[in-house]
Structure 1
Amino acid sequence: MSNSFIMWSLALLPWLSLFFMRKEEIKRWMPVALFAVVLTTIIGDIGIGLGVWATRESTYPFNEMLPYFYGTMPVLTIWVFKFTYGHFWPYMITNTILDIVFNFFILDYFLPSRGIVDFNMSPFLSLPVTLLHAVVIYGYQMWQDDALLATNRLTEHNIQPATAKPSVQQPKDDE
């Protein structure tokens, strides 16, 4: 199996699992997944700048970033939030297990053994970074929920612009 196939699989195949999720659930969790992608991209860029890792084999258009950041990671975020959001400790336990697999198996063993990436950091040091990432995106989703609740309060009271209000009906003349 070629490295290019592995990287494209990491980017595209996870998105197919969303066919097994309701559209409303995908809409509910997509903002936190996109935030996780942005945050992961920033962390990845900092790691490249500091020499923590280097991509030895890339796939267009993923020059320096791993396709995992745009495929597997946001989809896993959606699934984890679907099943654990609202229960912080099950969320953290699930993320800890996934982060251990990512740091110790994927980043430290699998990708370097295939010649895709050089990982110059101990998985014991990268694990706290990924766990902090999980806490930050959980906080972001809590903030999103508060913002959505404020929006729902406005719609409960039927607050609308004047142009959206129904016009006063004219009484009909009896003929």
Structure 2
Amino acid sequence: MLSWMIRLGLLVISFVSLWFYPAKALQKYFPVSLFTSGLALIMCSLSFRYRFWMVSGSIFKRLVNDLTFVFGPFFAGTLWIFHLTFGKFWRYAGVNAMMNVVLSFLLNPLFQRYNVYKFVNFNAAYLFLTYMGYALVLYPYQLLIRDRKEKA
């Protein structure tokens, strides 16, 4: 029951935060946030095959768990990080590193303790490196989007 409350809380907090998000920034950073969600969904798909993590219960529960993270904190977090840091790469990299440390080394053990998920063939360092890799792909992607819009 607590794991469901955690999932719901992550989703609700993420979407409530977007009420305060500027509409113009949403239009500007929505594509990169959607791309982030796609990358995270690919990772979730790979986790089925390679057993990166497990969620107790049915396949439905696992799907809900993955979608909660993908379209909750990762989607909203990407929007906020780009809104607050885009144009200053080192600030962007630093904020991403801090957020990934918090997720990988502080929140991850709590999520595992409260049975939100359990790592099987994955660990906190892999999680950190994976999401830092995403961050390094997302920034040039947003630069490309910006440059294309400026040319149009």
Give the superposition deviation at 1:150: 1.8
Amino acid corresponding to residue 6 of structure 1 in structure 2: I
1:55 touches 1:65 (CA, 8 Å); kept in 2?
no
* Superposed counterparts of 1:32-71, under 5 Å: 32-57=32-57, 62-63=63-64, 65-71=66-72
The equivalent residue for 1:86 is 87
1:48-106 Cα shifts (integer Å, max 9, x gaps): 32111112257769346251211111111111101110111110110001001111122
Amino acid corresponding to residue 32 of structure 1 in structure 2: V
2:53 touches 2:117 (CA, 8 Å); kept in 1?
yes
Query: Counterparts of 1:80 and 1:147 in 2: how far apart (Å)?
Result: 21
The equivalent residue for 1:115 is 115
Give the superposition deviation at 1:117: 0.8
Amino acid corresponding to residue 19 of structure 2 in structure 1: F
Give the superposition deviation at 1:2: 2.4
Runs of 4+ in structure 1 over 6 Å off:
none
Task: List runs of 5+ in structure 1 lacking aligned partners.
Answer: 152-175
Counting matched residue pairs gives: 150
1:12-63 Cα shifts (integer Å, max 9, x gaps): 3211112212211111111111110011110121123211111225776934
Q: TM-score, normalised by structure 2?
A: 0.88
* Superposed counterparts of 1:19-168, under 5 Å: 19-57=19-57, 62-63=63-64, 65-107=66-108, 109-120=109-120, 121-151=122-152
Task: List runs of 5+ in structure 2 lacking aligned partners.
Answer: none
CA RMSD of aligned residues (A): 2.0
For the pair 1:6 / 2:6, whether they are aligned, the reply is yes
Which protein has the larger Cα radius of gyration, Structure 1 or Structure 2? Answer: 1
Percent identity over paired residues: 23
